[in-house]
């Protein structure tokens, strides 16, 4: 049941994007989001789509794998699109009884759908090509200047990496407990919402118990290794920029400038 969730998952492959510095990819995601909101006409849409196709090809991650992640948000996007379609004021192009569709509505619905899908694909490419550890490392280094403002950057990064690290473990644990209870005749699928919620108790209680036990063990293990926070802590594999990363930044800059130029010019 958890196999279909690809958002946030890492996909091992041998590609330019996989070896890129996580800071470049984080910056790339930011640039991507900005570009999506700048994009509002056909020429900029073509540029953005071209860039996305290029990135997908570079990532060596099969598109079908990313598309699986889209399936889970399909409903959300469709509902948002329908609201945009029917409730945007403008010049009516289609009228039937109480239903009115306007040109602005069509435009809004289409661009919103494209933005949502592109957003999910773009951000999932980052997580698909970056290991969780690498990602938090990148975040920690990129946000390091904020520690001057007393933002606990290291602690936040540590919490993030622990949380990410535990997702697969807890999914595994959930599967195991589910199977164990199913072997005792538990039913997690049928019934209405209330019985379904009630039937989750045999799953949730052991899951919480084990999560707390694991947290406890981890805290002990960290203390036994004299962990005392970020001060004076060094890294085994510190992040270093390579030539490719600089080219990556350059490409991002050109892409963003191009998108803005196309919006302004047309």
- Which residues of this chain interact with other proteins, rule CB under 8 A? 3, 11-13, 65, 173, 176-177, 179-187, 201-202, 205-206, 209-210
Pick between residue 76 and residue 204 the one whose CB is nearest to other proteins.
Answer: 204
Least distance in angstroms from the C-beta of 177 to other proteins: 6
Pick between residue 201 and residue 254 the one whose CB is nearest to other proteins.
Answer: 201
Least distance in angstroms from the C-beta of 70 to other proteins: 16
Pick between residue 192 and residue 234 the one whose CB is nearest to other proteins.
Answer: 192
CA distances (Å), origin 141, targets 11, 18, 124, 137, 151: 23, 18, 21, 6, 13
Pick between residue 123 and residue 210 the one whose CB is nearest to other proteins.
Answer: 210
Helix (H), strand (E) at residue 244: helix 243-265
Specify the 3-state DSSP secondary structure of 1: coil
Pick between residue 3 and residue 235 the one whose CB is nearest to other proteins.
Answer: 3
Q: 91 with 102: CB under 8 angstroms?
A: yes
Least distance in angstroms from the C-beta of 25 to other proteins: 19
Quote the strand ranges of the chain, DSSP E: 92-96, 99-102
Pick between residue 213 and residue 233 the one whose CB is nearest to other proteins.
Answer: 213
Question: CA 134, CA 139: separation in Å to the nearest integer?
Answer: 9
Least distance in angstroms from the C-beta of 179 to other proteins: 5
Burial 14-28 (b: 16+ CB within 10 A, else e): eeebbebbbbbbbbb
Question: CA 199, CA 123: separation in Å to the nearest integer?
Answer: 35
Specify the 3-state DSSP secondary structure of 92: strand
Least distance in angstroms from the C-beta of 22 to other proteins: 20
Q: Which residues contact 2 (CB under 8 A, 6 or more apart)?
A: 171, 174, 175
Least distance in angstroms from the C-beta of 168 to other proteins: 11
Least distance in angstroms from the C-beta of 195 to other proteins: 13
Pick between residue 68 and residue 115 the one whose CB is nearest to other proteins.
Answer: 68
Question: CA 7, CA 12: separation in Å to the nearest integer?
Answer: 14
């Amino acid at each position: 049941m958890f196999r279909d969730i690809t958002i946030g998952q890492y996909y091992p492959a041998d590609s330019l994007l996989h070896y890129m510095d996580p800071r470049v990819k984080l910056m790339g995601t930011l640039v991507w989001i900005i570009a999506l909101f700048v994009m509002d006409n056909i020429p900029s849409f073509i540029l953005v789509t071209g860039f996305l196709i290029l990135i997908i090809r570079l990532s060596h991650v099969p598109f079908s794998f990313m598309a699986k992640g889209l399936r889970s948000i399909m409903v959300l996007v469709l509902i948002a699109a329908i609201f945009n379609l029917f409730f945007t004021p403008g010049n009516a192009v289609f009228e039937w009884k109480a239903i009115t569709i306007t040109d602005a509505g069509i435009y809004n619905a289409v661009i919103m759908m494209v933005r949502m899908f592109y957003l999910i694909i773009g951000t999932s490419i980052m997580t698909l090509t970056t290991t969780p550890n690498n990602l938090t490392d990148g975040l920690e280094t990129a946000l390091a200047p904020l520690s001057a403002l007393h933002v606990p950057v290291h602690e936040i990064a540590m919490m993030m990496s622990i949380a990410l690290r535990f997702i697969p473990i807890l999914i595994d644990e959930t599967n195991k407990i589910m199977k164990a209870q199913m072997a005792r005749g538990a039913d997690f699928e049928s019934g209405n919402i209330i019985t379904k919620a009630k039937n989750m108790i045999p799953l949730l209680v052991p899951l919480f118990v084990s999560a707390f036990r694991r947290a406890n063990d981890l805290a002990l293990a960290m203390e036994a290794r004299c962990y005392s926070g970020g001060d004076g802590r060094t890294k085994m594999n510190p992040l270093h920029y390579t030539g490719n990363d600089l080219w990556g930044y350059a490409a991002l800059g050109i892409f963003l400038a191009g998108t803005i130029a196309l919006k302004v010019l047309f």
